[in-house]
Structure 1
């Protein structure tokens, strides 16, 4: 019987899995090496709750995002908010896909949107635009929510140094558990999937005016997206946000921590130049206030796959995803294993079916008549 479960990593996946398992009655212990939850990639990203519009080239990612978005809003109604004007635009020259094809893909995926010809700000070079219902994540509110819900199940400010798997369980820091969920994206244990680590640099900007969320797709493009503070936005760029592509988490951390002012200014110049090709009022509307540094883990390959995968190695689960809204997929994979393991306790070596059939036959006279005839 599975009853004690350890989780390493206090990001969105670790917090959701831990709180869900705790609500189901399991004894849960979540280890986070920082002194607060959602401290790394989960709290250092573009704050976007995806619906699937970002991924016209990967059906699986779109479907997981579409379904996960609806479930997220239902499960956590106070941990995200609407964006009054959320635009996806397809540039006529720089996009890898034309607007008609993009629109057809999104329609066939069953994602709601509204096509528009004009926005509240000037947008240059767009073949087409749509308005979407994607939302912005409220990270500080989420952090406080999970801290309260998990309570004494949390071990904050503790980096796990000992994990030993046996036939019947996993020992974590000398304590026995039935299962372990590694939600660190390869920073604690190696993921059984070819992957790389990508240190990243986004930029924070402040504005005194209302400005829409603007995302340009698809390919080596850029986006401006609001944060939980409605006066602060992030600027992200597919070619300029990454700092490197390396094979170890330690090397990614070293590169991230070595970023200096000159690097930030260089990236800022490139990213502002790129976004201004589409949003000519960007520099007049925003004031740069600082960088955001993080590390992403991505699968190796040319496909645009950011869907969620769950790998099991004995008593250890490895979670891998590029989207926050697919937390429910990961949880369901783990629960299906728990149900199968717990159901084994009710299985016996033999089945009483034949005995029951014969007994019913005797009671109804069928078996007796057959004997008399013979």
Structure 2
């Protein structure tokens, strides 16, 4: 093993959106002088940050989780303010309520929108006519956006380089170990297979589905996680649906959202998007399972079911599918909530694991991080 480098202020494991923003926050807001991002892919924002529905939530999706909805209502305006160049808002977003098997009725959805102060109005007849009235109770026009992950990745790389954050690509972190009372050692394997170590004050584990795949003194998260292999179909929408985003609530239904990075739409279905799931465990590498998965598309079943509710979908042209591992907190399977995971590891002082279910959760993460660093600074002052 090569000799360790000089001590870093922080090592961020994972160059997705969360890892990039945390690294920028540490360098620009907290004054950390040496911050390094270690990413196993050849570029930033290549995995879950890209392979998703590209939706900037505004709370509508979570009538059974008021906390998640409330946080989205607070965070969406911040996201639009901070990343206006990546936000796509020039489409009409519709939420439709199914007549049968829905966990929320039209009246309940309207009350939920009033309680969360979320903008909503009944769709005009021309838009409502896109749906099968026997199966859809009501259709609402709401305020919800999409984001372009390619533009977001370009922004992240530019900002990180300007902030003098070191980027190490094609590099996999294998373990974290204690190196003293206030130091950690990160063991990594570079693109040529060489191993080396990074000594650091802080480690932020932002590896999403790989949170519990680190060795050494890293004991894993206390919070139980569930892994899913998911399929997000990319389709060319027919003309009458091209300027729309659609979500049918709240049960075994679907969403069809603009995907700005490709100029297409994503098509996802509660029943057919999840292909395989398991309880997360150390030693069961989710990305290895994804690599071995046959990736047979279910888009034909998605379209057959979706066209019952929205007949025009039968004219959508399938392009390809994005397969990815989705990680959720096991405790939120009942209410579909998407809170953040922000765990401080007691056996590794200065080590944190971070997971967010939605892109706007980044503000909740930064609030937690700010509180932790302020508390650490206060403790150092009291001890000095």
1:333 is matched with: 368
SS at match of 1:290: strand
Confirm or deny that 1:180 pairs with 2:164.
no
Aligned partners of 2:251, 2:235: CA distance in 1, in Å? Answer: 23
Alignment CA distance shift 1:251-1:244 (3 Å): farther
Aligned partners of 2:186, 2:261: CA distance in 1, in Å? Answer: 38
State the TM-score, normalizing by the size of structure 2. 0.84
2:69 is matched with: 62
Q: Structure 1: which 5+ residue stretches go unaligned?
A: 350-374
Q: CA deviation at 1:348?
A: 6.3
Alignment CA distance shift 1:13-1:229 (3 Å): closer
Q: Structure 2: which 5+ residue stretches go unaligned?
A: 1-6, 188-196, 213-219
Aligned partners of 1:130, 1:219: CA distance in 2, in Å? Answer: 17
**Cα deviation per residue 1:347-366 (whole Å; 9 max; x = unaligned)?**
368xxxxxxxxxxxxxxxxx
Residues matched between the structures, number: 344
Confirm or deny that 1:282 pairs with 2:282.
no
**Cα deviation per residue 1:118-152 (whole Å; 9 max; x = unaligned)?**
34461112211211221111111111110111124
State the TM-score, normalizing by the size of structure 1. 0.86
Q: CA deviation at 1:223?
A: 1.0
Indicate which of 296, 306, 313 corresponds to 2:326: 296
Greater alpha carbon shift after TM alignment, 25-34 vs 117-126: 117-126
Indicate which of 343, 360, 372 corresponds to 2:378: 343
Aligned partners of 1:255, 1:235: CA distance in 2, in Å? Answer: 23
2:174 is matched with: 161
Aligned partners of 1:13, 1:194: CA distance in 2, in Å? Answer: 20
**Cα deviation per residue 1:52-83 (whole Å; 9 max; x = unaligned)?**
11111001111111111111111112121204
CA contact under 8 A between 1:193 and 1:299: conserved in structure 2?
yes
Q: CA deviation at 1:252?
A: 3.7
2:80 is matched with: 73
Confirm or deny that 1:257 pairs with 2:291.
yes
CA contact under 8 A between 1:208 and 1:231: conserved in structure 2?
no
SS at match of 2:158: helix
The Cα RMSD (Å) is 2.1
**Cα deviation per residue 1:21-68 (whole Å; 9 max; x = unaligned)?**
211221321111001111111110011010111111001111111111
Alignment of 1:114-129 (within 5 A): 114-120=121-127, 122-124=130-132, 125-129=135-139
